[in-house]
Structure 1
Amino acid sequence: MLNIKTGRIVIVTGASQGIGLAIATTFLNHGDTVIGCAYSDIQKAPQAQQLLQQFPDRFVYHSVDVTKTEDISRFVELAEHQFGRIDIVVSNAGKNVFKGIDCDEEDWQHNFNLNLRSHWHLAKCCRPALTKSQGVIIVITSNHAFSTMPGCAPYNISKRALLSLVQSLTIEWGPEIRTVGIAPGFIDTAGNQAWFDSHPDAALSRAKTIAKHPVGRLGRSEEVGDLCLFLSSDAAGFIAGTTIVMDGGRSAIMQDPD
């Protein structure tokens, strides 16, 4: 069994639900301390409330608007002040901004503030602490960074840019800080279920989507958490400057099955 040291201080953004919540839970179950944040107040984040009840000594939650650089700076300052160090940063916060390439400037700017600039600024704020701890940054992007569909701009454009962010952080901040990216595909979250439910036949829509994945199923949020746990460990110490696609083989298909 892989031996991964415990007791680390981990920042996870977008930790109130979905993939971010699963990542936070994985590190907590492993014995680490997690400082999580999301846009929602804790009163409107019932799943984060459950983590606070389950791990009262090792989970902290803050409401942070990551489109505001001052909010990110304050969040990192609080985390380092409370725990004295930061060992791992999982930069996960973001959302689908599917407006199409003809989107207006407001949507374009909001997308890049949320899905690109926030990751860059979080990394900059955490750099001094991570340099001291010889820490790890994990950037969560998307398989849309590699190939996309009509109507998914400008989201896919910012996600593509995150590939370069991972590379630049690696070559400019290494070897003190190791950076790696993860590009999840279709993960079975409440948000994606809402997308299925928007179709006339939700069950049929789900079945068609599953059929497009060679592994025969959708991804689980917990699998992203497990990959984060591995990539943050010394066992993954030679993995840097790259983004790992986890999409159930979806990107290997040249043409969808009928």
Structure 2
Amino acid sequence: MSASIPSANPVVLLTGASRGLGLSVANLLLSNPSSSVNVISVSRSKSSQLSQLEEDYPDRFVAFQGDVSSESDNAKAVQLAIQKWSRLDALILNAGIANLSKIQDLTAESFAHQLSVNTVSLITTVRAALPYLKKAEPQGRVVFVSSGAAVGATAGWCAYNATKAAMNSICRTLANEEPELACFAVRPGVVDTDMQTQIRSQGTSVMSPSEFERFIKLHEEGKLLKPELPGSVIANLAIRGSRKDPVGSDGKGIGEVGGFVNWDAAELKGFRDSF
């Protein structure tokens, strides 16, 4: 690890960056031509893609291998960011798993594991980062990568639905408790990631026929979203999202109320510019 480098550039901690949407967001942050963003990722595995990013951006990217639900691992990751760049401006909470199972077959152990990875990790990461986020100027930002599952009832997705609903609740509560922070829960849509591959291979046994067929058709018709589309919104919110803007239909800032918002919502038009 290099010596501490005072940095005026935004520093973002990103969980779940080893593949899929998280990896796309990491690439977007690092390749952003308008702002030299520094990134530390936290993931259980260190993919070859993350190792390549470390080679490509040795002064601006650190891939920390750790468990997002571990208090000590989160504390270590946050301290690495502080040691290297002397600040932490934003979190992107993207880590998550989806083990498909009907409720009648969902064991306590499986449910608890998904809660740990998808929900407990949110608290452990936020708690470790909070003292530094509250010092960020003009304000700290926390972007929760949510899902339509948060308000859905898809068969076979009980644990995933429940954990994403809990995520939205945590986002709202954090926004209410911490007036220094801008908090967003972003629904990224149906993205072409490994989860879609998992649905196509496993969903037929646990999902209703109509729900399963919907995802099959989206894939066959080429309608799955490229990760960089919602990824650009997530990255932009982490870099320049604010508590007061964008304003939702209720006249309040989405970041002020910790609102749940679609990546392609009209309110986020200004955050969909390409990198």
Interval of TM-score (by shorter of Structure 1 and Structure 2): 0.7 to 0.9
3-state secondary structure, aligned to 2:254? coil
CA contact (8 A) 2:189 2:230 kept: no
1:18-72 deviation per Cα after TM superposition (whole angstroms, max 9, x unaligned): 11111111111112011012110x3xx1111221222122111011111322222
1:220 aligns with 2:220: no
Quote the residue 1:183 is aligned against.
187
Shift of 1:185: 2.6
1:208 aligns with 2:213: no
Quote the residue 2:92 is aligned against.
90
Aligned residues between the structures: 233
1:244 to 249, 254, 261: 261
Distance in 2, matches of 1:122 and 1:86, equals 12
1:114-135 deviation per Cα after TM superposition (whole angstroms, max 9, x unaligned): 1111012211111110000021
Shift of 1:74: 2.0
Quote the residue 1:13 is aligned against.
15
3-state secondary structure, aligned to 1:182? strand
Alignment of 1:89-168 (within 5 A): 89-102=91-104, 103-133=106-136, 134-168=139-173
Task: Return closer, same or farther for 1:13/1:209 CA change in 2, 3 Å cut-off.
Answer: same
Distance in 1, matches of 2:14 and 2:72, equals 17
Instruction: Please provide the CA RMSD for this pair.
Output: 2.6
Distance in 2, matches of 1:242 and 1:109, equals 26
Task: Report the TM-score when normalising by structure 1.
Answer: 0.82
Shift of 1:101: 1.9
Shift of 1:199: 8.9
CA contact (8 A) 1:12 1:90 kept: yes
Distance in 1, matches of 2:115 and 2:201, equals 28
Quote the residue 2:44 is aligned against.
39
Quote the residue 1:78 is aligned against.
80
Structure 1 unpaired stretches of 5+? 1-5, 249-258
Percent of aligned positions with the same letter in both sequences?
28
CA contact (8 A) 1:8 1:87 kept: yes
Structure 2 unpaired stretches of 5+? 1-7, 205-212, 247-252, 266-275
Distance in 1, matches of 2:168 and 2:234, equals 16
Shift of 1:82: 2.3
Shift of 1:156: 0.8
Q: Which amino acid aligns with 2:224?
A: L
3-state secondary structure, aligned to 1:95? coil
Distance in 2, matches of 1:234 and 1:113, equals 28
Distance in 2, matches of 1:155 and 1:194, equals 13
Shift of 1:152: 0.7
